[in-house]
Amino acid sequence: MSFWEEFISYLIQGWITTLEILAVCIPLSILLGLGLAVARVYGNRLISLIAGGFVALLRGLPLVVTLLIVFFALPKLGIFFPPFWAAVIAFVMCSGAYQSEYVRGAIRSIDIGQSLAAQSLGMTKLQEVVHIILPQAFRRALPGITNEIIYLILYSSLAYLVGVQELFAVAKHFNSLQFRPIEIFSTTALIYAFMATIATLAFRKIEVKLRIPGLEIT
């Protein structure tokens, strides 16, 4: 088997693992971001304080530190996660914390008249948030959320630190055996760039699909 045949074979296996990580992390991080933002804006004092503290803590820690805490420190407290799920939990928490700030800002930007109109129609607070506020806030926050998803794709390479055999881990291991860094890491970089480009285009299509004529943010 030639170098390229063997390398591509291993790399595809790692790429599949990376895609599995992202398939779980992307939707969960968006949901977490939405939940934290709603909790901070509409929760009572205690809930808002807890959500704000969580966001401040996660935004104040490097992602690699969060990852190592989840995988190495939590077992000291009797909480164990396999490498794959330790990486997923760390990525979701960090990305969700950052995304929540975009959503929170978007919620704050919604004109208070819409809230008053919802109340005048007899909507409960939950109905108002779910049906009136969040759909608009999500549209406004989408560019920022897209940015965080791109970062998430790139930061998924840190999963190798806890033993996940994802794309970068395979490339790093293969290079230690073959020592052909130009070919190995250039190919790996192209795959990451490809994933980031596809994600950018996909979210751009979502932005266009969700755009409301006359209500674009300029």
Q: Measure Cα distances from 13 to 109, 165, 175, 209 in Å.
A: 44, 8, 16, 34
In tens, the pLDDT along 95-112 reads: 999 999 999 999 888 888
In whole angstroms, give the CA distance from residue 35 to residue 202.
23
pLDDT at 156 over 70: yes
Identity of the amino acid at 113: G
* CATH (residue range 7-210): 1.10.3720.10
In tens, the pLDDT along 127-141 reads: 888 888 888 888 889
Percent of residues, the chain, with pLDDT higher than 90: 63
Handedness of CA 169, 171, 174, 179 (dihedral sign): negative
**List of residues 6+ apart from 201 with CB closer than 8 A:** none
**Local structure of residue 116 (DSSP, 8 states):** H
Band of residue 210 on the pLDDT scale cut at 50, 70, 90: confident
Question: For the chain, what are the domain ranges?
Answer: 7-210
